[in-house]
């Protein structure tokens, strides 16, 4: 990210919050679209959505429409969902099963490998060379049941991007392969996407804003560990807590923030994952998509009580994030100091956001 800002106040030698313009400027939002959301691995869905050859689903990375599918050989593939003829989105359906991909505008038809197979009336056109028109492929890969894509053709592999993350999950006994989806919830929020990320990255506000959550997690033992493209927060569950004892096993709750917009939350037990995807709508609005995955063995009443608690915490966070956004719009906010014993996760995010790699 080539945004030039001073992260450390020279007079006090102290890490600061970001300037308000980074949350309110349309020009900055456009730079983020190009430099972050067009150039980074991002979570798009679950492998169960493309289980069999021909299965596909469509989604968007910001303003980029994409299609993810499983080809005839059973391999994952992803393409920009834009037709090379006149630029319409190729497929409008959200999901389905197809042997070919046919554009809904003039019926150009592509194989699942992105090559043009047929175009109506092509014979009437002298020198029409179908091999010149292919769908634009993009990188796609998975971590357990989680699918990621990256629109950059020169992308580093997902494995390299995620670094130590898979090993850390294994070390804590988290088995992603046993998890299947059991719930989904979306929240539109009147706030810039970075305010939601920053709010997630600290539990300094938990004691004040999340009374029920704070009864369950020992906030004084809460730690934040930064890595290259992600950071991990670890909060030990208080002995005897009923709130987060639903899925048993893990002693701690683990929270991973993966740059730029994904959070993976593991509550006690290898049997649960709550996932938050933060989708920027525009400078002032974002969509937070929550997905809940559980192991088969976790009973419905436990999944429901965890989902209820997360929904309660999310509603408390919406009030905070929208309030910060209004503060940023006031024109009177000067970046305040980060309380590093509690807000170290923000310093890591700012470094990654401003400094790029
Ligand atoms: S725009 Fe797709 S076939 Fe014409
Ligand atoms: Fe919160």
Q: How do residues 80-138 score in pLDDT, each as one tens digit?
A: 999 999 999 999 999 999 999 999 999 999 999 999 999 999 999 999 999 999 999 99
- Atom 1 in ligand 1: which residue has the minimum CA distance? 86
Residue 356 predicted with pLDDT over 70:
no
Please tell me what DSSP assigns to residue 338.
P
Residue 87 CA: which ligand 1 atom is closest?
1
Taking the CA atoms of 333, 193, 152 and 88 in sequence, report the sign of the dihedral they define: negative
User: What is the model's pLDDT at position 343?
Assistant: 95
Residues in the chain: 357
Q: Which residues of 156-168 are buried (b: 16+ CB within 10 A; e: fewer)?
A: eebeebbeebeeb
State the burial class of residue 288 (Cβ atoms within 10 Å of its Cβ: 0-12, 13-18, 19+): buried
Pick the ligand that lies closest to the CA of residue 316: 2
Residue 5 predicted with pLDDT over 70:
no
User: What is the model's pLDDT at position 30?
Assistant: 96
* Mean pLDDT value across residues 63-77: 96
Backbone phi, psi, residue 338, to 5°: -80, 135
Residue 9 predicted with pLDDT over 60:
no
The C-alpha atoms of residue 102 and residue 198 are separated, in whole angstroms, by: 42
User: What is the model's pLDDT at position 248?
Assistant: 41
User: What is the model's pLDDT at position 244?
Assistant: 55
The C-alpha atoms of residue 89 and residue 105 are separated, in whole angstroms, by: 9
The C-alpha atoms of residue 199 and residue 245 are separated, in whole angstroms, by: 24
Distance of CA 104 from the midpoint of ligand 1 (Å): 7
* Mean pLDDT value across residues 24-52: 96
Q: Reply yes or no: is the peptide bond before residue 260 cis, omega within 30 of 0.
A: yes
Pick the ligand that lies closest to the CA of residue 219: 2
Residue 108 CA: which ligand 1 atom is closest?
3
The continuous run of DSSP H or E covering 289 comes out as: strand 285-295
The C-alpha atoms of residue 196 and residue 260 are separated, in whole angstroms, by: 11
Q: How do residues 226-237 score in pLDDT, each as one tens digit?
A: 999 999 998 887
The C-alpha atoms of residue 48 and residue 147 are separated, in whole angstroms, by: 9
Residue 56 predicted with pLDDT over 90:
yes
For the CA atoms of the chain, what is the radius of gyration? Answer: 22
Kindly give, in sequence order, each residue whose CB lies less than 8 Å from that of residue 80, ignoring residues fewer than 6 positions away.
64, 65, 66, 67, 135, 136, 138, 151
* Mean pLDDT value across residues 181-201: 97
State the burial class of residue 45 (Cβ atoms within 10 Å of its Cβ: 0-12, 13-18, 19+): buried
- Taking alpha carbons only, the member of 266, 259, 268 closest to residue 239 is 268
Q: Which residue has the higher pLDDT, 285 or 246?
A: 285
CA dihedral 45, 181, 50, 106 (to 10 degrees): -60
CB 64 within 8 Å of CB 75: no
User: What is the model's pLDDT at position 146?
Assistant: 97
User: What is the model's pLDDT at position 312?
Assistant: 92
131 CA to centre of own chain: 35
The continuous run of DSSP H or E covering 325 comes out as: helix 300-329
Distance of CA 92 from the midpoint of ligand 2 (Å): 36
The C-alpha atoms of residue 23 and residue 92 are separated, in whole angstroms, by: 32
Distance of CA 101 from the midpoint of ligand 1 (Å): 11
Three-class secondary structure of residue 349 per DSSP: helix
- Atom 4 in ligand 1: which residue has the minimum CA distance? 106
User: What is the model's pLDDT at position 240?
Assistant: 62
The continuous run of DSSP H or E covering 226 comes out as: strand 223-226
Residue 54 predicted with pLDDT over 90:
yes
The C-alpha atoms of residue 174 and residue 234 are separated, in whole angstroms, by: 14
State the burial class of residue 227 (Cβ atoms within 10 Å of its Cβ: 0-12, 13-18, 19+): middle
Distance of CA 64 from the midpoint of ligand 1 (Å): 17
* Mean pLDDT value across residues 55-66: 95
**Band (156; pLDDT cuts 50, 70, 90):** very high
Distance of CA 157 from the midpoint of ligand 2 (Å): 32
Q: Give residue ranges with CB within 6 A of ligand 1.
A: 83, 85-86, 88, 103, 105-106, 108
The C-alpha atoms of residue 118 and residue 182 are separated, in whole angstroms, by: 40
**In the block, which residue shows the tokens 């990654």?**
352
The continuous run of DSSP H or E covering 308 comes out as: helix 300-329
């Amino acid at each position: 990210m080539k945004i030039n800002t001073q992260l450390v106040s020279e007079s006090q030698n102290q890490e600061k919050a970001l300037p308000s313009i980074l949350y309110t400027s349309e020009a900055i939002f456009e730079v983020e679209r190009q430099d972050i959301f067009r150039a980074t691995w991002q979570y798009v869905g679950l492998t169960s959505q493309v289980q069999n050859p021909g299965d596909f689903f469509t989604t968007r990375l910001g303003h980029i429409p994409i299609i993810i599918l499983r080809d005839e050989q059973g391999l994952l593939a992803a393409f920009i969902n834009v037709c090379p003829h006149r630029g319409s989105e190729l497929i409008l359906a959200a999901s389905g099963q197809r042997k070919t991909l046919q554009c809904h505008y003039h019926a150009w038809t592509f194989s699942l490998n992105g090559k043009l197979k047929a175009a109506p009336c092509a014979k009437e056109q002298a020198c029409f060379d179908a091999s010149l028109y292919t769908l634009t492929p993009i990188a796609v890969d998975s971590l357990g049941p989680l699918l990621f894509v990256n629109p950059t053709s020169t992308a580093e592999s997902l494995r390299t991007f995620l670094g130590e993350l898979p090993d850390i999950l294994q070390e804590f006994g988290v088995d992603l392969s046993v998890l299947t989806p059991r719930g989904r919830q979306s929240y539109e929020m009147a706030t810039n996407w970075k305010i939601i990320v920053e709010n997630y990255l600290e539990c300094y506000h938990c004691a004040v804003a999340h009374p029920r959550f704070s009864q369950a997690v020992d906030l004084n033992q809460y730690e934040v560990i930064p890595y290259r493209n992600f950071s991990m927060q670890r909060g030990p569950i208080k002995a005897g807590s009923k709130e987060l004892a639903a899925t048993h096993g893990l002693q701690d709750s683990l929270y991973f923030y993966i740059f730029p917009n994904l959070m993976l939350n593991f509550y006690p037990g290898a049997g649960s994952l709550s996932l938050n995807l933060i989708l920027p709508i525009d400078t002032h609005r974002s969509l937070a998509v929550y997905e809940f995955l559980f192991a088969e063995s976790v009973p419905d009443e436990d999944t429901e009580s965890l989902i209820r608690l997360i929904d309660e915490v999310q509603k408390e966070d919406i009030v905070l994030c929208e309030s910060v956004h209004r503060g940023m719009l006031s024109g009177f906010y000067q970046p305040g100091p980060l309380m590093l014993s509690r807000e170290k996760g923000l310093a890591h995010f700012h470094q990654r956001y401003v400094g790029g790699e």
